[in-house]
Structure 1
Amino acid sequence: MPDLARARDFIYAVARLIDRLWFAQVFEGAAAEPVLAALAAYQNPDGGFGHGLEPDTRTPASQPLNVEVALQYMADVGAAEAGMVRRACDFLDRASAPGGGVPTLLPGFEAHAHAAHWRGYARAPDLVPNAGLVGLLYRLDIEHPWRERTAEWIWPRLKAEDLGAHDILSAALFLEHAPDRPRAQAAAARLAAKLPSAAWFKPDASAEGYGLTPLWFAPMPDSFCRPRFEDAAIARDLDHLAAAQQADGGWPLSWDPPGPAAALEWRGVQTIKALRTLRAYGRV
């Protein structure tokens, strides 16, 4: 069984301030407000978030990817500062392509250190990150014109034939909170049928290399996607996750961040996520 005390020592020794505060809120009953205060330091005057909030991109400039990470923190601690979120939506509105949606990364991030998988990145707006952004805005109950326009932009893209596991994960967050429940449930069933053959889906967590395992889609027993996976698949993934704790108390990464600081930052994040999932499933 994972050692929570060692994991706590790891978090307080190496994790970022925002993640230490997140850990304290999730596991020690601390208030959510300090997490929001720490998050505010990553928000730029243009309303977007930068400064390495997503540790694989070290640019101080605002990026849609970092806005999604900021909203994830708010959702995880169950609190949102509406003004902060609306300023971020204003940034997304200005960053949107003429046809709708924002790209994951805006040009210019390459001037600062970034992970190899972002090198040469130039993709048009897609389900990632837009579906996740809209889903989180629904979850946080923050209304904004960008949310409504982008939701309509997302629906037809859910029918694409070449969706990868990252696309499906982002789409699942949108569908979990979309107001039109019959439409959302029908789309979720179609995407669930595509997942086993989707690029970057990793049904066996013990296989080498990076990939999205069942627990990425069902990190909690009550997750929207949990009914799509057999109990045995979730149990195998939990066994692997529980056994992955390292000697220093933290969990490892399956990709290469841009440097040692980013690696420790990510390990703090992954350790909290691992502990949260294991606790929810009764493994801690």
Structure 2
Amino acid sequence: MTKKLGREAFGRARQFLLTGGARKLEAALFRYEFERGSIEDVYLELEKFQNDDGGFGRALEPDLRCAASSALATTTALQLLLSENIRNEAMIGRAMQYLVNSYNDNRTGWDIIPKEAELSSRAIWWNYGAFEDHWGNPNAEIVGYFNVVPVAGHSDLTAELNDYASQYLQEKSDLKEMHEMLCYVRWANTLSKEAYEAIGNKLDEFIDNCVARMPEDRIGYGCPPLMLVDSPKSRYYAKYEAVIPGDLDQMIESQGADGTWLPNWTWGRFEDEWETAKTEWQGIITLNSLRTLRRFGRLDTE
């Protein structure tokens, strides 16, 4: 019999998201996606993280508490804003203008976080210059956004960046960093069939290097298949079809008594601020877990 998350367990997750410490953003998203709540409430909460320059910051990505806009937080927002049922053209347009204005020729892309981040509490890996040796994070993902949201007057730059993204993937990337891999997957999903086929083999190699297929290979922080495959409609579902049922069982079994799923990392500093971020991550991960379980038909809430 297929294991499913039952009504009582779902109710505990719901209670945390609505009254137990999750951010108002995740609460609004839950209401909208699971209870036919208002999309305007989602926009209202997300707007609180968008700055006057159009970029997003203000700890939208909880591990970076910096108020200033960053490519990191802006890509986090665009992942949400470009989803089919949440799309908001005004907020997207402002975010894309921020990316145009913050483009760095010397980087052939964007700094993932700004210098101002050094003045704020943050996870130990978030220092200015982070991921410089893995260009694709977040640059490949950002190039994909220029593919799906063309910005007037910048078609030549978009074409050049797509060429660079392809070249970097095939010639320069060490094909080992999971976040760069996920950014490249998001970029690849914006390509034409012909363009995807040109980089598909190399991207498959990247995925194979980063995704821990078998449970016994997953020690601590890493990329399990469900981080890449969020529904049976995923391009990569067939690749991991044999292990995904067990992973979904494990997801259900790992729900905490408080109804949440926990992050499997810590900051290593700023312990008081980490406790705030940890609670915010609980909300994000819990909402994402419910989304995944629903897409795979693993919610039993009738």
Query: Could you state the TM-score of these two structures normalised by the residue count of structure 2?
Result: 0.84
Count of residues paired in the alignment: 278
Residue 77 of structure 1, CA deviation: 6.0
1:108 corresponding residue in structure 2:
116
2:104 corresponding residue in structure 1:
97
2:240 corresponding residue in structure 1:
230
The equivalences for 1:125-274 within 5 A come to 126-136=135-145, 138=147, 141-144=148-151, 145=154, 147-159=158-170, 160-163=172-175, 164-178=177-191, 180-198=192-210, 201-205=211-215, 207-227=218-238, 229-257=239-267, 258-274=273-289
Superposition CA RMSD, Å: 2.1
Residue 121 of structure 1, CA deviation: 4.6
What are the Cα deviations for residues 29-61 of structure 1, in whole angstroms up to 9, with x where unaligned? 223232122211111111111100000000100
Query: CA separation in 2, counterparts of 1:205 and 1:275?
Result: 21
Residue 169 of structure 1, CA deviation: 1.4
Query: Could you state the TM-score of these two structures normalised by the residue count of structure 1?
Result: 0.89
What are the Cα deviations for residues 199-220 of structure 1, in whole angstroms up to 9, with x where unaligned? xx33234633000111111011
Look up the equivalent residue of 1:193 and give its one-letter code: E
Greater Cα radius of gyration, structure 1 or 2: 2
Look up the equivalent residue of 1:232 and give its one-letter code: A
Match of 2:183, SS state, is helix
Q: Which moved more, 1:241-250 or 1:68-77?
A: 68-77
Give yes or no for contact 2:82–2:88 (8 Å, CA) kept in 1: no
Look up the equivalent residue of 1:133 and give its one-letter code: I
In structure 2, relative to structure 1, the CA distance for the partners of 1:137 and 1:82 (3 Å cut) is: farther
In structure 2, relative to structure 1, the CA distance for the partners of 1:5 and 1:76 (3 Å cut) is: farther
Give yes or no for contact 1:205–1:240 (8 Å, CA) kept in 2: no
Look up the equivalent residue of 2:213 and give its one-letter code: P
Look up the equivalent residue of 2:207 and give its one-letter code: L
Query: CA separation in 2, counterparts of 1:156 and 1:276?
Result: 35
Query: CA separation in 2, counterparts of 1:136 and 1:265?
Result: 26
Query: CA separation in 2, counterparts of 1:157 and 1:225?
Result: 22
Residue 102 of structure 1, CA deviation: 0.7
Give yes or no for contact 2:113–2:128 (8 Å, CA) kept in 1: no
Residue 147 of structure 1, CA deviation: 4.9
5+ long unaligned stretches in structure 1: none
What are the Cα deviations for residues 8-29 of structure 1, in whole angstroms up to 9, with x where unaligned? 0111121111111111112112
1:83 corresponding residue in structure 2:
90
1:11 corresponding residue in structure 2:
17
Query: CA separation in 2, counterparts of 1:212 and 1:269?
Result: 17
Query: CA separation in 1, counterparts of 2:145 and 2:28?
Result: 21
Look up the equivalent residue of 1:26 and give its one-letter code: E
